[in-house]
């Protein structure tokens, strides 16, 4: 019987294990942490009864993918819940922009910029299913939907600073700036609109749902499927070298590229090792969980009903904060992403006390304490916020990388979203999952299509590994690339 070891149980490791187990491969998943899930863990971090997502909170790109269509996680306990407002961006004086599922409802709230918002996001939303088929995979392929992909690509290729000029009202500009900042890139850099356009369109096409009972239920559903198909999962096992794993037919690494080099040692061809060592990580995140009584008193009313609130002020302020972070400077007023999962999933709260999730973009490896800066940013748009806080839990960039070695320097997206790495991650190669070691594949978010708890990196990596077996394992190096 064919056997495989998957190192790491993040959503990509688990998705790879699901695909392999479904094909009759005997799969063993080894996880360093005591709990499965990597970036999809949830726990009580502040007060008893309050459930916090430790990493991923919102899942617009996980709802409808080739993986989710083939493996129905909803039958294994995963339930998506949607907030009424998908994301907002408050401004001073109680104003702000709000994104709803409906493009028209969103446009209606953006005054003079409504028609332009509709023009950019309307057509993309209608065809998003086809577009995702093309972008949730390695960039180098013959597109299935070339016309729509070209339209999507034309926006995605632009620097966010340039695309942002389409809008003139502070509300629409800030709304776009807030979603573009998810790329963790300076707004002047090429392709810095790509992630914002994808997530912004996804908000209208699929919404930004949360998992009922916490993101941990995503991992639990995948784990149940692995085990149902005969696979096993062991926690508390940190793999230090491939040599420990015996001689399985396949090894899939849900790790950062540099860790793959360390694990493979001199088995890895020098050119892959060089490319993996050169792989660049992005800025960091500093995360604060709050227990808040009565919710956050946002002055901008739609923000009270939103799942995600982007907090930074105007487009220009967001652009400046992202520019400073990229240059290694901690902004006085950082970009803060606030998650109010409880508005969609009240089961996470204890009575009138709710779990609030917030993280700021900070320089890679930032060693200071960003707690006060985060609290001050929220207080700026929600006067009285400080008085609602009953408890906090803080995770610095160092804590982030100890919690999960894939988050190097606090890089929560496992690799800088530079134009080069958006196209060629983790290195230029026909098969970006192949490590050059026969039968050993990289399956983490460092591979296409990149970060997110969608499992698509693991899905493609497993298919690549299965194709290698079909071609006759051992007859080639597994390195299809340059």
Ligand X SMILES: Cc1cc2nc3c(=O)[nH]c(=O)nc-3n(C[C@H](O)[C@H](O)[C@H](O)COP(=O)(O)OP(=O)(O)OC[C@H]3O[C@@H](n4cnc5c(N)ncnc54)[C@H](O)[C@@H]3O)c2cc1C
Judged by CB under 6 A, does residue 341 bind ligand X?
no
Q: In whole angstroms, how close is the CB of 452 to ligand X at the nearest point?
A: 4
Note the maximum CA span of the chain: 67
Name which of 161 and 261 has its Cβ closer to ligand X.
261
For position 285 contacting ligand X by CB under 6 A, the verdict is yes
- Rounded to an integer, what distance in angstroms lies between the CA atom of residue 110 and that of residue 175? 9
| 10 part of the interface to ligand X, by CB under 6 A | yes
Contacts of ligand X in 356-375 (CB under 6 A)? 359
Residues contacting residue 126 through CB under 8 Å, at least 6 positions apart: none
Of 13, 138, 200, 207, the one binding ligand X (CB under 6 A) is 13
CB of 132 to ligand X, least distance (A): 13
Q: Among residues 113, 134, 171, 254, which is the contact residue for ligand X, using CB under 6 A?
A: 254
User: Would you count residue 406 as binding ligand X (CB under 6 A)?
Assistant: yes
CA dihedral angle for residue 267, residue 272, residue 275, residue 280, rounded to 10 degrees: -70
CA distance linking residue 144 with residue 152, whole number of Å: 13
DSSP 409-461: GG-TTSS---HHHHHSSSSS-SSTTB-SSTTEEE-STTSTT-SSTT-HHHHHH
Structure letter (DSSP) for residue 87: E
First to last CA, the chain: 32
When asked if residue 39 is in the footprint of ligand X (CB under 6 A), the reply is yes
CA distance 307 to 304: 9
Indicate whether 9 belongs to the interface with ligand X (CB under 6 A).
Answer: yes
User: Which window, 2-10, 95-103, 105-113, 188-196, contacts ligand X (CB under 6 A)?
Assistant: 2-10
Choice from 287, 300, 310, 333 touching ligand X (CB under 6 A): 287
Minimum distance from residue 316 beta carbon to ligand X (Å): 25
Residues 48-87 that bind ligand X (CB under 6 A): 55-59
Binding mask of the shown chain, residues 205 to 244, with x at each position contacting ligand X by CB under 6 A: ---------------------------------xx-----
Give 131-137's long-range contacts (Cβ < 8 A, gap of 24+).
131/201, 132/61, 132/64, 132/65, 133/66, 135/198, 135/449, 136/61, 136/65, 136/66, 136/449, 136/454, 136/456, 137/448, 137/449, 137/456, 137/460
Please work out the total of residues on this chain that contact ligand X, with binding judged by CB under 6 A.
40
Pick the binder of ligand X from 5, 6, 8, 279 (CB under 6 A): 8
* 416 contacts ligand X (rule: CB under 6 A): no
Nearest Cα neighbor of 167 from 149, 179, 157 is 179
Binding range to ligand X, per CB under 6 A, among 30-38, 71-79, 157-165, 270-278: 30-38
Q: Is 451 among the residues that bind ligand X (CB under 6 A)?
A: yes
296 binds ligand X (CB under 6 A): no
Contact (Cβ atoms closer than 8 angstroms) between residue 127 and residue 145: yes
Cβ-based burial of 347 (10 A; exposed 0-12, middle 13-18, buried ≥19): exposed
Q: How far is the CB of 449 from ligand X (least distance, A)?
A: 11
What is d(CA 98, CA 359) in angstroms, rounded to the nearest whole number?
A: 20
Scan residues 373-392 and list those touching ligand X (CB under 6 A).
none
Q: Is 444 in the site for ligand X (CB under 6 A)?
A: yes
Selected range binding ligand X among 77-85, 87-95, 122-130, 449-457, rule: CB under 6 A: 449-457
Length of the chain, in residues:
482
Q: Are residues 95 and 84 in contact, defined by beta-carbon separation less than 8 angstroms? A: no
Burial status of residue 151 (CB atoms within 10 A of its CB: 0-12, 13-18, 19 or more): middle
Q: Is 45 in the site for ligand X (CB under 6 A)?
A: no
Residue 88, interface with ligand X (CB under 6 A)? no
Which residues are at the interface with ligand X (CB under 6 A)?
Answer: 7-13, 30-33, 38-40, 55-59, 238-239, 254-255, 259, 285, 287, 359, 404-407, 412-414, 444-445, 451-453, 457
């Amino acid at each position: 019987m064919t056997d495989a070891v998957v190192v790491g149980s993040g959503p990509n490791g688990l998705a790879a294990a699901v695909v392999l187990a479904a094909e009759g491969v005997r799969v063993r998943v080894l996880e360093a942490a005591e709990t499965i899930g990597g970036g999809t863990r949830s726990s009580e971090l502040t007060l008893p009864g309050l459930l916090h997502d430790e990493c991923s909170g919102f899942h617009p790109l996980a709802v409808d993918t080739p993986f989710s269509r083939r493996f129905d996680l909803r039958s294994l306990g995963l339930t998506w819940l949607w907030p009424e407002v998908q994301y907002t961006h408050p401004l001073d004086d109680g104003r702000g922009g709000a994104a709803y599922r409906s493009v028209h409802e969103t446009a209606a709230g953006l005054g003079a910029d409504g028609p332009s918002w509709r023009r950019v996001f309307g057509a993309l939303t209608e065809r998003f299913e086809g577009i995702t088929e093309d972008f949730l995979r390695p960039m180098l392929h013959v597109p299935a939907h070339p016309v729509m992909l070209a339209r999507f690509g034309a926006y995605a290729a632009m620097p966010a600073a340039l695309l942002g000029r389409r809008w003139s009202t502070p509300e629409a500009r800030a709304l776009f700036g807030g979603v573009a900042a998810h790329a963790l890139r300076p707004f002047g850099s090429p392709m810095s609109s790509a992630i914002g356009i994808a997530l912004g369109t996804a908000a209208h096409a699929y919404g930004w749902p949360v998992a009922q009972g916490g993101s941990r239920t995503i991992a639990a559903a995948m784990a149940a499927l692995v085990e149902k198909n005969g696979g096993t999962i062991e926690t508390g096992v940190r793999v230090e070298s491939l040599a420990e794993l015996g001689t399985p037919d396949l090894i899939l690494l849900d790790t950062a590229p540099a860790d793959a080099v360390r694990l493979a040692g001199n088995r890895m061809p020098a050119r892959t090792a060089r490319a993996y060592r050169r792989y660049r990580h992005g800025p960091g995140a500093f995360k604060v969980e709050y227990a808040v009584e009565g919710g956050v008193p946002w002055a901008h009313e739609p923000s009270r009903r939103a799942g995600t609130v982007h907090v930074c002020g105007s487009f220009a302020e967001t652009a400046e904060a992202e520019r400073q972070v990229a240059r290694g400077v901690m902004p006085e007023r950082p970009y803060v992403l606030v998650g109010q999962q409880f508005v969609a999933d009240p089961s996470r709260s204890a009575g009138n006390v709710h779990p609030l999730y917030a993280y700021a973009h900070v320089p890679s490896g930032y060693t200071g304490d960003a707690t006060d800066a985060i609290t001050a940013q929220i207080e700026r748009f929600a006067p009285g916020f400080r008085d609602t806080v009953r408890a906090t839990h803080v995770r610095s960039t160092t804590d982030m990388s100890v919690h999960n070695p894939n988050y190097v320097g606090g890089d929560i997206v496992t690799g800088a979203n530079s134009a080069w790495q958006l196209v060629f991650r983790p290195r230029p190669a026909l098969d970006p999952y192949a490590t050059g070691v026969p039968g050993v594949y990289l399956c983490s978010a460092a591979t296409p299509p990149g970060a997110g708890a969608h499992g698509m990196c693991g899905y493609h990596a497993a298919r690549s590994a299965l194709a290698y077996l079909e071609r006759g394992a051992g007859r080639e190096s597994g390195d299809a690339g340059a």
